[in-house]
Structure 1
């Protein structure tokens, strides 16, 4: 659970560092490639990429140790980290409701930590590995269809697709039962992890660029938490501590609800000066 929370801290902080770097170079000439090249020369952007990599490693360790539902809720809490760090470094003003949402996320995770048991010891049915590979391909198909929808529907579809892709990664990690080259090359879960993760990043980038950040992030949170949690409970043996199933469900719901309230921090916002609007 400490690794899951550490991953959330890494992801949430990386978002703010990368936003600071992008804001510092946004005024230069050139298109997206030139912007990326200038951002890569910023220490904050490189530090953000490093924290993303560390967060991914911590996520893998967590997924091999605690139930998927606990890891998914913890990763959704990275929005709370982004909000707090953005308030400090980017001078983003948080409302009372948003500060309350940060507290709600923390409370939900505390309840979840108390109630969650050990990682399930079931390997899942054989077909589940192939189902994850098919789901990863479905994420790409959802991206192709969702990209043609109107703006509001497009952001939700792409965000949900990205969340499902990250969910495929969470489940696939648990389905990799051997680390030898032969076992990895013949395991469909490995290809599901690579395809699902790549598709998720593509869809999330497109969703944040072409639609509402809040809507896209809400879809992301729902996609990467609910379905993987159910798969972990139904097929992989994830359980809670005896008699605390109700507390785990409540804590999960509270943490996800708090994360949804912080959806605008899916892409660290920049506080903008208020401008007077004249009638007419």
Structure 2
């Protein structure tokens, strides 16, 4: 649980540092978004520091996914929005409303309840079909992106956000299910390809959602799908269980953490400047715009 919380802190702080660096590049270059923006950003120590935090956060996330129930990791990762909100308030001068401060407190309280109630990660490997189902789910996420263009803007943004969350959820479950790093067995494991495809699909859909629609709607959809799907998978198939007699505390804490994160959904992106600053730890596209989630604040 310490690793999961530390991962959330890394991701949330990295988002703000990368946003500051991206804004400084845009302000100084005067050229707007261009193909070499990423290289300019890499000259900023804050951007490099953000990338380093992203790498550390990912390693901590993997340790957490292999050690504690998926519902605990999912709630902790959603809480990175609370970290982003608090850090942005200090470094970017963003004003948090009373409701948003209450949401931060709710997230912290929910995580404390989950920490008290969580047992060790389940020891089941799940049915063999689950690995192939993960790969199928990752392909389905890509299909969501293909067909989302047929919908009006509002429903399309929500659908893309849900699809992105499902893709990231596939990554969480796949990390848990990979049981061997031996090269022949690893490359024969469908979970590895589900991890790669789910992550790429999640990046793609969330980027499309953030560029074309409401950040709040897209981020809220992502949080719901990213936390609920892996949590149910862990409980039903992988043997994740709270401590005996504390099931109610785990459910209450999970609901509180996710609800608080949803209240902070506007921190899923930032639009305070001409360029879209990078989300946490994402690889950048040709314009230097990172393709990931949980970027610092924007008023809707």
Give the TM-score taking structure 2 as reference length. 0.87
Instruction: Provide, for residues 172-230 of structure 1, a one-character-per-residue CA deviation record: whole Å limited to 9, x for no partner.
Output: 01111111001111000000001111111121222111111111110110011001100
What is the alpha-carbon distance in structure 1 between the residues aligned to residue 18 and residue 62 of structure 2?
Answer: 23
1:10 matches 2:13: no
Aligned to 2:44: 42
Task: Write out aligned runs for 1:53-132 (5 A).
Answer: 53-132=55-134
2:164 to 158, 162, 165: 162
Q: Which moved more, 1:230-239 or 1:134-143?
A: 134-143
Over the aligned positions, Cα root-mean-square deviation in angstroms equals 1.3
1:240 to 239, 242, 254: 242
Aligned to 2:233: 231
Aligned to 1:276: none
The alpha-carbon distance between structure 1 residues 97 and 209, as it changes in their structure 2 partners (threshold 3 A), is same
Q: In the alignment, is the contact (CA less than 8 A) between 2:170 and 2:195 conserved in 1?
A: yes
For structure 2, which runs of at least 5 residues remain unmatched after alignment?
274-300
Bigger fraction of residues in helix:
1
How many equivalent pairs are there?
271
Aligned to 2:181: 179
Deviation (angstroms), 1:49: 1.6
Q: In the alignment, is the contact (CA less than 8 A) between 2:107 and 2:260 conserved in 1?
A: yes
Aligned to 1:277: none
The alpha-carbon distance between structure 1 residues 147 and 39, as it changes in their structure 2 partners (threshold 3 A), is farther
What is the alpha-carbon distance in structure 2 between the residues aligned to residue 178 and residue 186 of structure 1?
Answer: 10
Instruction: Provide, for residues 63-109 of structure 1, a one-character-per-residue CA deviation record: whole Å limited to 9, x for no partner.
Output: 00000000000000000000000000000000000000000000000
Deviation (angstroms), 1:160: 1.0
Q: Which moved more, 1:134-143 or 1:78-87?
A: 134-143
For structure 1, which runs of at least 5 residues remain unmatched after alignment?
272-280
What is the alpha-carbon distance in structure 2 between the residues aligned to residue 210 and residue 33 of structure 1?
Answer: 20
Q: Which moved more, 1:143-152 or 1:53-62?
A: 143-152
Deviation (angstroms), 1:32: 4.0
Q: In the alignment, is the contact (CA less than 8 A) between 2:26 and 2:33 conserved in 1?
A: no
What is the alpha-carbon distance in structure 1 between the residues aligned to residue 109 and residue 80 of structure 2?
Answer: 14
SS of alignment partner, residue 238 of structure 1? coil
The alpha-carbon distance between structure 1 residues 79 and 234, as it changes in their structure 2 partners (threshold 3 A), is same
What is the alpha-carbon distance in structure 2 between the residues aligned to residue 213 and residue 39 of structure 1?
Answer: 23
